[in-house]
C-alpha cells in the first residue's frame, strides 16, 4: 500500500490533493467573499482626494468672493454716505449704532447687526430706512428683516435667505445676499445710464 493510499484511507482525503487544491470546499472563499482589496482601496482613496480637492476649490472661491464683495460694499458705503443719511439723535443717542461705520473688515461679521446692510441699501437706493439702535439679537433680526423687506419691495428675488442666516453670519448665504444686491443694483445702474447717458457708480 502506498503512502498516499494509506493517508487517503486513514484521513479520508489525500494530503497532496489538499495541498494543491486548497482547503475543502466548505472552507474555500468564493469570489463574492473575497475583498476587492487594492482596487477598492484605491477607489476610496481617489474619492477622498477628489472630495478634498473640490472642497478646497470651493473654499478658495468663497475667499475670493468675500474679498471682492467686501471691496464693493466698502466702495458704496463711503460714497455719498453723509449726504444720504441724516443721523437723528434721540436723548443724545444717534440712530446709528457705533458699529455702523463707512468701512467693514469682515463681511460675515460686520453685516450681522443689519446697520451696515441698511446703510448700503440707503446709499444704493437714495432712500432712508428705519433701524433699531440696540445690539440685542432681536434688534439685529429686526434690522435684517427691514433690509430684506425693502429688497422684496424692490422686486429683488431672495431665495432661501432668512434674517437668522445673516445674523448668524452664515458665509454662503451672506455671499448670496450681497451677490443678489450687486446684480440688482448694478444692472439697474447700467439700464439707467443707458437711458440718461450718465454712468452711475
pLDDT grade, residue 80 (50/70/90)?
low
Q: From its phi and psi, is residue 61 left (phi > 0), alpha (psi between -120 and 50) or beta?
A: alpha
Mean pLDDT for the stretch of residues 94-116: 77
Rounded to whole angstroms, how far apart are CA atoms 44 and 70?
39
Query: Residue 94: which H helix or E strand, with range?
Result: strand 93-94
pLDDT per residue over 14-57, tens digit each? 555 554 445 555 555 554 555 556 666 666 666 677 677 667 77
Q: Is residue 47 part of a domain?
A: no
pLDDT tens per residue across span 141-187: 999 999 999 999 999 999 899 999 999 999 999 999 999 999 998 86
> What pTM, to 2 d.p., does this model score?
0.60
Q: In total, how many domains does the chain have?
A: 1
Q: What is the CATH number of the domain that holds 182?
A: 1.10.418.10
* Residue 8 maps to a domain: no
In a domain, 175, yes or no: yes
Q: Which residues contact 45 (CB under 8 A, 6 or more apart)?
A: none
Residue 161 lies in a domain: yes
Supply the mean pLDDT for the chain: 75
On whether residue 52 sits in a domain, the answer given is: no
Pull the grid cell for residue 66: 468675500
Domain of residue 100 covers 62-196
Residue 156, number of CB atoms within 10 A of its CB: 15
Where on the phi/psi map is residue 114: left (φ > 0), alpha (ψ -120 to 50), or beta? left
Residue with cell 450681522: 112
List the alpha helices (DSSP H) in the chain: 3-11, 15-21, 38-78, 81-84, 107-110, 115-125, 137-153, 163-167, 171-196
Amino acid at each position: 500500500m502506498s503512502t498516499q493510499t494509506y493517508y487517503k484511507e486513514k484521513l479520508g482525503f489525500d494530503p497532496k490533493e489538499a495541498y494543491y487544491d486548497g482547503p475543502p470546499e466548505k472552507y474555500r472563499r468564493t469570489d463574492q467573499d473575497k475583498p476587492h482589496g487594492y482596487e477598492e482601496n484605491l477607489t476610496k482613496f481617489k474619492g477622498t482626494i477628489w472630495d478634498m480637492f473640490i472642497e478646497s476649490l470651493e473654499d478658495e472661491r468663497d475667499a475670493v468672493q468675500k474679498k471682492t464683495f467686501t471691496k464693493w460694499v466698502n466702495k458704496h458705503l463711503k460714497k455719498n454716505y453723509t449726504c444720504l443719511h441724516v443721523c437723528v439723535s434721540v436723548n443724545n443717542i444717534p440712530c446709528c449704532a457705533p458699529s455702523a461705520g463707512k468701512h467693514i473688515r469682515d463681511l460675515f461679521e460686520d453685516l450681522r447687526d443689519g446697520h451696515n446692510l441698511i446703510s448700503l441699501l440707503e446709499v444704493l437706493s437714495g432712500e432712508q430706512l428705519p433701524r433699531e439702535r440696540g445690539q440685542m439679537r432681536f434688534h439685529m433680526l429686526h434690522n435684517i428683516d427691514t433690509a430684506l423687506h425693502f429688497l422684496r419691495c424692490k422686486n429683488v428675488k431672495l431665495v432661501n435667505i432668512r434674517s437668522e442666516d445673516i445674523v448668524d453670519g452664515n458665509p454662503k448665504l451672506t455671499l448670496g445676499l450681497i451677490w443678489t444686491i450687486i446684480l440688482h443694483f448694478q444692472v439697474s445702474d447700467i439700464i439707467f445710464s443707458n437711458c440718461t447717458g450718465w454712468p452711475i457708480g
